[in-house]
Each structure stands twice: as C-alpha cells, then as structure tokens.
C-alpha cells in the first residue's frame, strides 16, 4: 500500500530564505507526482507536476525534483516571501487519476 | 484549466441529518473525484464518480453513507448521510481528464461541514 510522507511537518523561516520541502513515497511504481498548495479555508492549487519519466520541473521560484527509484521528491522555494505561507502537499498518482496525498508541510514565512 | 464550483461552501449540520454537496465544472471532464480532509489531516479519496454508472468507492467508504451521483460530464453530487460529529470535514471535488495538460487534476474550493 502506497504511503506518502512529508518532512518537515511544519517550517518557519525568515523572508528571503531558500528552503526545501521533502516528500517520500514507498512504492516507486507511480505515473507522476504533483505538488499542491493549500491556503487556509481554500481548496488546493496545483504548483508543479512531474511525470514519472522526468527528473524535475520549474515554475518561477519553484523547482521540484523527482527520484523515482529512491522514492523521493523535493520542492525548492527560492527567495521565500510571506505570500508563500501555506500548506504544501505532495501527491503521487498510482492508477488513472487516483492520487495518494502526503501529510503536508505547513510553511510560515516571516516578514 | 477548469473552474470548479462547490455548494455549499460551508454548513453546520445536525447529527443524524444528511447533506448533499454539489460540484459543477465549467467544461466536460472525464474524471470526477470526491476527497475528504478531516481536521489536521491530509486528503483521502472517497470515490470516483462515474458518469452514467455507480461510483467506485475506496476502502473504508460505502455507498449507503456517501451516495454519489454523476448525471453528466460536468456535474456530480456527494451526499453525506446520517451525519455524526466524525463526519466534520472538508469535502473536495476534483476533476481531471481529456483536455487538461499532463494529467493535472484540479480541485474545487471545498465544502466545510461541521456536525453538531
């Protein structure tokens, strides 16, 4: 049974810092991995999707990497801003459009 | 991308009652899903809503408790039946499928239910 774990569970950093969020999964037979952002009281917003054949994806200040063989993904946020404060979730796709979600990392960027 | 509307956005419900949540998408989608997010927890898939046939439920979820309808490719409902305080959660509709790039799935804003 696939399990997705995210470390750390919570993180508080001063504005401007570069930071790394970690995601690990137990079964490497995935179709893709997706990183989401969830703001308090809101739904989920997709940030980056990495296909199983890809190693990384970039969007603005965000970079996500995928090492399928070791069951790991990282989300790198450069030059963090208070607006980045949110919960970040990673999810792996096992079967057609079925996603298993991680436990989330609650990020707070201090001004 | 897809615009997903969920109703209600929030509700406070009495124990033992049932509530139906609606999910409307602005374009036809192949796949629609219902997730639950309990307080402080991550998302758990309840079921896949199949157009024109019975939903496919995940382990731990049953049709009697969470009946789902999907009459067409843009609309689905989830009913939470005979509610108890343990059903207090965020219920999220998500969509994916033909027309969306790279298997991306999209989520609605969620329906926040509190059972008292």
Helix, coil or strand: residue B87: helix
pLDDT of residue B102: 53
pLDDT of residue A34: 93
Q: Distance from B50 to chain A by nearest Cα, in Å?
A: 13
| Eight-class DSSP state of A83 | G
What DSSP assignment string belongs to A29-50? --SEEEEEEE-TTS-EEEEEEE
Helix, coil or strand: residue A79: coil
- Proportion of chain B above pLDDT 70, given as a percent: 94
pLDDT digits (tens, 9 = 90+) for B52-95: 889 999 999 999 999 999 999 999 999 999 999 999 999 999 98
The first and second tokens of residue A104, run together, are 């989330």
Separation CA B35–CA B93 (nearest Å): 6
Considering CB atoms only, which of A31, A36, A102 is closest to B103? Answer: A31
Residue A5 near chain B (CB below 8 Å): no
The first and second tokens of residue A25, run together, are 């999964």
pLDDT digits (tens, 9 = 90+) for A49-105: 998 899 999 999 999 999 999 999 999 999 999 999 999 999 998 866 678 999 899
Residue B24 near chain A (CB below 8 Å): no
């Amino acid at each position: 049974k696939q399990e997705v774990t995210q470390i750390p569970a919570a993180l508080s950093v001063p504005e401007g810092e570069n930071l790394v969020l970690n995601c690990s999964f137990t079964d490497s037979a995935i179709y893709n991995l997706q990183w989401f952002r969830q703001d308090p009281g809101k739904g989920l917003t997709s940030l980056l999707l990495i296909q199983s054949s890809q190693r990384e994806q970039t969007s603005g200040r965000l970079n996500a990497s995928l090492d399928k063989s070791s069951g790991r993904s990282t989300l790198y946020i450069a030059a963090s801003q208070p607006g980045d404060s949110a919960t970040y979730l990673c999810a792996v796709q096992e079967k057609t459009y079925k996603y298993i979600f991680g436990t989330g990392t609650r990020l707070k960027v201090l001004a | 991308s897809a615009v997903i509307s969920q109703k209600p956005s929030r509700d406070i419900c009495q124990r033992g009652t049932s509530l139906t949540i609606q999910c409307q998408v602005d374009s036809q989608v192949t796949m629609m899903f219902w997730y639950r997010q309990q307080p402080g927890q991550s998302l758990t898939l309840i079921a896949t809503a199949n157009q024109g046939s019975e939903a496919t439920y995940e382990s731990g979820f049953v049709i009697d408790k969470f009946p789902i309808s999907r009459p067409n490719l843009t609309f689905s409902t989830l009913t939470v039946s005979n509610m108890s305080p343990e059903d207090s959660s965020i219920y999220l509709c998500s969509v994916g499928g033909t027309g969306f790039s790279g298997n991306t799935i999209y989520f609605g804003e969620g329906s926040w239910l509190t059972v008292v």
